Amino acid sequence: MVSRASYTAPAAPAPQRALDVDPGLLAIGTRLVQLGAYDSEGTAQSEWGRLSGRFPGYFEGKQRVIERTERNGKVFYRLRVHGFDDLADSRRFCSSLEAGGADCIPVQVR
């Protein structure tokens, strides 16, 4: 009797999530961290590239949130990170970045 070798198909790669998340789609209470507030969306995007390059392992699986905000007649863009399980997770992320000299504040969507 001849036995057939079993064939296992290679696992499909995990689908990639989009880098950017629309801040208007985030549920109230969603945990984020804020990396800074900038005068332009382009500057916020550049800062994401700079910081994710400095801390590559920490940004793996995270998504970028750039929120346009106006206060006292001035427009600015908040750069935030999405992808945390809870407050403790966001605090650990910030502790690591702060140890490397970066600004980071745990926040939640209101």
Residues whose CB falls within 8 Å of the CB of residue 63, separated by 6 or more in sequence, listed in order: 17, 18, 19, 20, 21, 81, 82, 83
C-alpha separations of 16 from 3, 11, 13, 60, 80 in Å:
39, 15, 9, 11, 19
pLDDT for the residue 16: 59
What is the mean predicted confidence (pLDDT) over 44-67?
Answer: 96
The confidence score (pLDDT) of residue 3 equals 52
Domains belonging to the chain, first-starting first, are 23-108 (3.30.70.1070)
pLDDT tens for each residue of 29-39: 999 999 999 99
Region 43-63: what's the mean pLDDT?
A: 96
Print burial letters for 35-59: b (CB count within 10 Å at least 16), e (below 16).
bbbbeeeebbbebbeebbeebeebb
Residue 23's pLDDT band, with cuts at 50, 70 and 90, is very high
